Amino acid sequence: MSKESSFDIVSQVDLSEVDNAINIATKEITTRYDFKGSKSEITLDKSSEELVLVSDDEYKLEQLKDVLITKLIKRGVPTKNLDYGKIEQASGGTVRQRAKLVTGIDKDNAKKINTLIKNSGLKVKSQIQDDQIRVTGKNRDDLQQIISAVREANLPIEVQFINYR
């Protein structure tokens, strides 16, 4: 009898890479001509896992967001996991926007992934464990097909596959 293989589907964001991307973006902002003299800044609130973007006006805030997103992509941080809040007025005539870093798979997305796995018709089992999904099966080829199917699915969050054994 063959041993069961398994892997976990998770949604994680590496905070150290986010911090590195913010530092690189801040350096670029200080040297860019269109940001000269502006009060643009990006900060990371590690306790609530939120990015706070502050700039002079909405146009500069969008530019700030573009710089941040390009740096996050270069550092390998999934940008699908950023949940932007509404733009609000801040002190000193500036505008602020918060972006929550989404970690973990919520119940709705877990159900979507579970349904996708069940509809594949392969002989694998999937179970939701807190904010991750464990997929087990006897055939490793089936698990590989599940990984490719989940990657191709248009999910609102970025997922990673860990603990493949």
pLDDT of residue 67: 93
Contact 42, 53 (CB under 8 A): yes
Tell me the average pLDDT across 58-71. Answer: 92
All residues at 6 or more sequence positions from 145 whose CB lies less than 8 Å from its CB, including other chains = 120, 122
The distance of Cα 120 from the centroid of its chain, to the nearest Å, equals 25
pLDDT at 1: 44
- Does residue 71 carry a pLDDT above 80? yes
Q: Do residues 94 and 56 make contact, with C-beta atoms less than 8 angstroms apart?
A: yes
pLDDT of residue 2: 58
d(CA 55, CA 84): 15
